[in-house]
Amino acid sequence: MTKRMLPLLLLLLISLDASAREPRKTQVPELAASAPIDERATDKASCAAKWDRYHKSQECFAPYMNVNGSMKPGAFENCTDVKAPTECPL
């Protein structure tokens, strides 16, 4: 049984290494391509756009987050850091 498992394990390791080298698709173009938002505005539409931009940023960073809260390499190269819009209520 061990002899049959070794080739499967080897294939798994090779596929994991190959997928680690592939660049991740990020949401940076989406954030950059969106319409400009007036950062001082607190109307309903502006706040909704700010929260949407913030949540997209968090989704991009999620795969790079370690259990202890630190970030894996490549997080800031592939994602845009957007702070929570504290001036807008949830």
Residue 9 covered by a domain: no
Query: In the chain, where do the E strands start and end?
Result: none
Q: Could you tell me if residue 66 is inside a domain?
A: yes
Tell me the C-alpha distance between 62 and 64, whole Å.
5
**2 domain-assigned:** no
- Residue 55 placed within a domain: yes
In a domain, 85, yes or no: yes
Domain assignment of residue 39, yes or no:
yes
Work out the number of other CB atoms within 10 angstroms of the CB of residue 50: 22
The C-alpha R_g of the chain, in whole angstroms, comes to 19
Six token digits for residue 53: 């931009």
* Number of domains present in the structure of the chain: 1
Residue 85 pLDDT class (50, 70, 90 cuts): very high
Residue pLDDT, tens place only, 9-64: 666 667 665 445 555 554 444 555 567 888 888 899 999 999 999 999 999 999 99
Domain holding 63, by residue range, is 25-90
